[in-house]
């Protein structure tokens, strides 16, 4: 029998690899059956704690030595330095593990120097470890719930090392203890990811939790439930808060813009612009406008006595009673008609005929010197060279009381000057020359010329009455320029020649 | 005018690159393979610690040099092509979860087809970019060693378990590689 076994062994030497024979040999002859023990690797966030339990019924080991080796290399057991000849039944093996490697852990129990227990187990850190769940925070915004997922602080060191473990997160939304929604969110190496959950039912309770999307992991822990009561009142509240700044924006801003625009255009807050000093006029203008740079020349109105009955249309009343009068007053010679109409106002009017061919080329415009010394006189005297009949009424504001022409009670006394029958002579300078360029002659109708005084030069002027050098007067057509203010008649007067025969009206 | 002509070209390039990346990105698929392989067997490896061996996995292929997207995809394709026959041609232990095994095999087949579409007809290696070393050869020798180990161990249970754990590690490496290429 023994010879057969030896023969068998010799034969095996040739036919089988050496190592396997030797190992088989050693196993069968020298292997001591070891008591078993139970190894438990507890790994939390890659913090590995190996603990063991000996379930042998025989002698209990007093000391333990923990060693390890890697699966993908044929290496000898490496003893863990902190866990050599220890008496406790646990060992912290955090630092020695590579996450992607598979390890064998060996716990050998000794009783003095005798090996009593030997237990070997495999350990794959990446699958066997239990990771903390991601942290979830929720907030309600209008009608949605914003779920923010971020790494817990305990995984801050590991997340950069093992990015594929923390790549995706599964978020579960429960409503009334039922799964309402489940969605997978990619972290994409970000610190946190926010996901919006909409289409929520108002007035219902929602609970949110998340866990790492690890299909190979044995234990996947859910994060603690975060519940919120979703109600519709939150929606209005948030809208209220949003409405207030919107209202201020839409109301105040246009008002400000409007005010700025008005200010820019000068509609409000207008700056006081001061007019030039030359335009500052004294409050009272004594007499005609005395502008320093304007040459004021006096013009005499030469009246030609053409008795023509001129009446105002309004005066053509049957009961009007007109009489021609001539009055010399304060160097004024007035010839005219007085028509007493039903109205108590007495008016003295001249009708005048002006032709349109007045010469506008007058370099100088001598003005009628209106001696209005009195302040309360308001006697504008305007003549107008127009085609139409025009009437000029001049109210004498400063006539004497006993003047038949004045009606102080009425306060209106009008004169109509027929400029076609008058000559206007300018006395501009002291050298009153009839050949003065400032002389003004108004157009005269030929058939009406009837000079009282046969002054040849003046006749000449009359015949060449077309030389109107200046439209001195602007006579408004069909208008009465009457002022009802009464004033003394001194204001009307000025130096003028009194010449009844000449029929000059001077002032 | 040139900007108008360039715009559709750039859009097309973007679309094609996006589609390509989507079609060639197997990160998720590889992680699923990994988890299937892990859950397939609940066998504790403790007693098989003596059957451990060094398969000489070519780590430098995966981590050493920065790989271009095309070469990385070719590497993954090559590895999947080698892994598939190991599980399909041989008879894995009956103690394994057969459902999950079938799922793994179908997933591998699907991924191979996907990579073939992504890479097109040309799966040639770009020799100049990788220098003198040919990672393809290294991978081929690696997987050949695994097959020889199984044969040597006579397809024992421990050998299958050791081989399973090693392939599991390879899938982890591949998923890390594809994630690197994607980012």
Instruction: Output the DSSP codes for A303-339.
Output: EP--------TTT--TT-EEEEEEEEETTEEEEEEEE
**Paired tokens of A488:** 């003394």
Q: Is B49 on the interface with A (CB under 8 A)?
A: yes
Count the alpha carbons within 13 Å of A66 in the hemisphere toward its beta carbon.
23
B positions 10-29 inside 8 Å of A (CB): 27
Q: Does B151 touch chain A (CB under 8 A)?
A: no
Looking at residue B7, what is its pLDDT? 67
Would you say residue B80 has pLDDT above 90?
Answer: yes
Q: How many residues does chain B have?
A: 183
Task: State the smallest CA–CA distance between residue A74 and chain B in angstroms.
Answer: 5
User: b/e per residue, A267-290, with b = 16+ CB within 10 A?
Assistant: eeeeeeeeeeeeeeeeeeeebbee
Q: Which residues of B touch A190 (CB under 8 A)?
A: none
Q: In this complex, is the C-beta atom of B158 within 8 Å of any C-beta atom belonging to chain A?
A: no
Nearest residue, CB atoms, A164 vs list B32, B169, B179: B179
pLDDT at residue A163, as a whole number = 74
Distance CA A132, CA A217 (A): 12
Q: What is the pLDDT of residue A321?
A: 54
Query: Are the beta carbons of A100 and B52 separated by less than 8 Å?
Result: no
- Interchain CB distance below 8 Å, A73 and B54: yes
Q: How far is CA A288 from the centre of its chain?
A: 55
Predicted pLDDT of residue A7: 60
pLDDT of residue A159: 76
Distance CA A443, CA B86 (A): 135
Question: CA A428 to CA A422: how far, in whole Å?
Answer: 18
Out of B34, B44, B172, the one facing A122 most closely (by C-beta) is: B44
Number of H helices and number of E strands within chain B? 8, 0
By C-alpha distance, the chain B residue nearest A124 is B165
Distance CA A38, CA B92 (A): 28
**Mutate which of B30, B97, B148, B165 to disrupt the A interface (most A C-beta within 10 Å)?**
B165
**Contact in structure between A387 and A461 (CB atoms under 8 Å):** no
Residue of chain B whose alpha carbon sits nearest to that of A168: B28
Shortest Cα distance from B39 to chain A (angstroms)?
7
Gap from A127 CA to chain B (nearest CA, Å): 8
- What local confidence, expressed as pLDDT, does residue A13 receive? 54
To test the contact with chain B by mutation, choose from A117, A121, A126, A216 the residue with the greatest count of B C-beta atoms within 10 A, namely A216
DSSP state of A172: E
B175 at interface of A, judged by CB pairs closer than 8 A: yes
pLDDT, mean of residues B26-40: 88
Which chain B residues have a beta carbon less than 8 Å from that of A72? 52-55, 57, 166, 169
Whether A216 sits inside 8 A of B175 (CB atoms) is: no
pLDDT surpasses 70 at B60: yes
Give the pLDDT band (50/70/90) at residue B118: confident
Copy the structure tokens of residue B81: 């092509």
Report the interhelical angle of B69-89 vs B2-24 (nearest 10°): 20
The verdict on a CB contact (< 8 Å) between A71 and B175 is no
Question: Would you call B153 an interface residue with chain A, using a CB distance cutoff of 8 Å?
Answer: no
Q: What CA–CA distance (Å, rounded) separates A117 from A54? A: 8
- Which residues between 115 and 134 in chain A have a beta carbon less than 8 angstroms from any beta carbon of chain B? 119-122, 124, 126-127
CB proximity B123 to A under 8 Å: no
pLDDT digit string (tens) for B141-182?
999 999 999 999 999 999 999 999 999 999 988 888 888 887
- Which residues of chain A from 72 to 111 reach within 8 Å of chain B, CB to CB? 72-74, 100-102, 104, 106
Chain B residues close to A108, C-beta within 8 Å: none
Confidence (pLDDT) at B135: 78
> Of the candidates A101, A122, A127, which has its C-beta nearest B45's C-beta?
A122
Phi/psi of residue A125, nearest 5 degrees: -60, -40
SS3 label, residue A428: coil
DSSP category for residue A295: P
pLDDT at A344: 43
- Yes or no: say if A108 and A65 are a contact pair by the CB < 8 Å rule: yes
CB B109 within 8 A of CB B84: yes
Chain B, nearest residue to A24 by Cα: B50
- B54 part of contact set with chain A, CB < 8 Å: yes
Contact between B45 and A119 using a beta-carbon 8 Å cutoff: no
* Residues in B touching A164 (Cβ below 8 Å): 27, 31, 175-176, 179
Mode of pairing for the β-strands spanning A346-352 and A413-414: parallel
Taking the Cβ of residue B171 and every Cβ of chain A, the question of whether any pair is shorter than 8 Å is answered with: no
Instruction: Note whether B170 and B81 are within 8 A (CB).
Output: no
Contact residues, chain B, for A23 at CB < 8 Å: 50
Q: A121 to chain B: which residues are within 8 Å by CB?
A: 44-46
Instruction: Using 50 as the pLDDT threshold, list the residues of chain A that sit under it.
Output: 17-30, 234-237, 311-320, 341-411, 429-503
Residue B115 burial (10 A CB sphere; 0-12, 13-18, 19+)? buried
B107 neighbourhood in chain A, CB within 8 Å = none
Structure tokens at A377: 């006189």
Structural tokens at position A136 = 């979830």
Predicted local distance difference test score (pLDDT) of residue A8:
57
- Please name the residue that has the structure tokens 């079609």: B23
Beta bridge partners of A157: none
């Amino acid at each position: 029998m023994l010879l057969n076994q030896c023969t068998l062994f010799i034969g095996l030497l040739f036919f089988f690899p050496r190592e396997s024979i030797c190992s088989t040999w050693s196993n069968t002859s020298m292997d001591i059956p070891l008591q078993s023990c139970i190894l438990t690797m507890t790994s939390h966030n890659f913090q590995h704690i190996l603990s063991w339990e000996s379930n042998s019924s025989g002698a209990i080991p007093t000391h333990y030595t923990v060693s390890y080796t890697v699966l993908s290399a044929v290496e000898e057991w490496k003893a863990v330095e902190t866990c050599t000849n220890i008496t406790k039944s646990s060992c912290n093996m955090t630092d020695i593990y590579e996450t992607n490697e598979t390890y064998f852990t060996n716990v050998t129990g000794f009783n003095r120097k005798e090996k009593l227990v030997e237990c070997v187990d495999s350990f794959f850190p990446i699958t066997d470890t239990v990771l903390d769940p991601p942290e979830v925070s929720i907030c309600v915004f209008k009608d949605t719930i914003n779920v923010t997922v971020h790494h817990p602080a305990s995984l801050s060191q590991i997340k950069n090392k093992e990015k594929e473990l923390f790549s995706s997160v599964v978020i579960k939304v429960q409503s009334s203890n039922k799964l309402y929604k489940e969605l997978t969110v990619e972290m994409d190496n970000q610190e946190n990811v926010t996901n919006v959950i909409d289409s929520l039912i108002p007035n219902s309770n929602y609970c949110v939790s998340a866990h790492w999307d690890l299909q190979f992991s044995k234990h996947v822990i859910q994060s603690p439930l975060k519940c919120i009561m979703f109600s519709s009142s939150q929606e209005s509240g948030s809208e209220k808060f949003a409405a207030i700044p919107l209202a201020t924006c839409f109301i105040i801003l246009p008002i400000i813009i409007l005010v700025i625009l008005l200010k820019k255009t000068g509609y409000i807050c207008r700056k006081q612009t001061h007019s030039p000093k030359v335009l500052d006029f004294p409050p009272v203008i004594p007499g005609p406008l005395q502008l320093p740079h304007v040459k004021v020349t006096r013009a005499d109105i030469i009246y030609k006595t053409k008795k023509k009955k001129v009446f105002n249309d309004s005066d053509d009343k049957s009961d009007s009673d007109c009489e021609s009068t001539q009055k010399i007053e304060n160097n004024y010679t007035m010839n005219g008609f007085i028509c007493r109409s039903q109205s108590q106002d007495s008016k003295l009017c001249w009708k005048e005929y002006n032709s349109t061919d007045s010469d506008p080329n007058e370099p100088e415009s001598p003005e009628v010197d209106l001696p209005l010394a009195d302040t309360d006189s308001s006697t504008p005297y305007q003549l107008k060279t127009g085609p139409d009949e025009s009437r000029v009424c001049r109210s004498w504001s400063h006539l004497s009381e006993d003047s038949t022409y004045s009606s102080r009670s009425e306060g209106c006394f009008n004169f109509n000057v027929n400029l076609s029958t008058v000559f206007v002579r300018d006395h501009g300078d002291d050298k009153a020359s009839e050949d003065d360029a400032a002389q003004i002659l108004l157009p005269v109708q030929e058939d009406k010329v009837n000079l009282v005084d046969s002054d040849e030069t003046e006749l000449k002027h009359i015949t060449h009455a077309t030389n109107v050098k200046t439209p001195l007067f602007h006579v408004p057509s069909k208008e009465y320029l009457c002022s009802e203010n009464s004033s003394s008649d001194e204001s009307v007067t000025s130096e003028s020649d009194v010449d009844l025969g000449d029929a000059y009206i001077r002032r | 005018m040139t900007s108008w002509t360039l715009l559709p070209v750039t859009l097309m390039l973007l679309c094609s690159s996006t589609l390509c990346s989507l079609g060639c990105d197997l990160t998720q698929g590889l992680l699923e393979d990994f988890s299937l392989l892990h859950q397939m067997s609940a066998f504790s490896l403790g007693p098989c610690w003596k059957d451990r061996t060094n398969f000489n996995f070519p780590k430098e292929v995966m981590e050493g040099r920065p790989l271009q997207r095309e070469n990385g995809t070719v590497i993954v394709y090559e590895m999947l092509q080698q892994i598939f026959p190991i599980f399909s041609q041989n008879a894995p232990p009956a103690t394994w979860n057969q459902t999950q095994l079938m799922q793994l095999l179908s997933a591998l087949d699907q991924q191979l087809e996907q990579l073939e579409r992504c890479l097109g007809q040309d799966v040639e290696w770009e020799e100049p970019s990788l220098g003198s070393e040919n990672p393809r050869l290294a991978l081929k020798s690696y997987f050949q060693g695994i097959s020889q180990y199984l044969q040597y161990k006579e397809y024992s249970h421990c050998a299958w378990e050791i081989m399973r754990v090693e392939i599991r590690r390879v899938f982890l490496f591949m998923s890390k590689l594809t994630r690197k290429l994607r980012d």
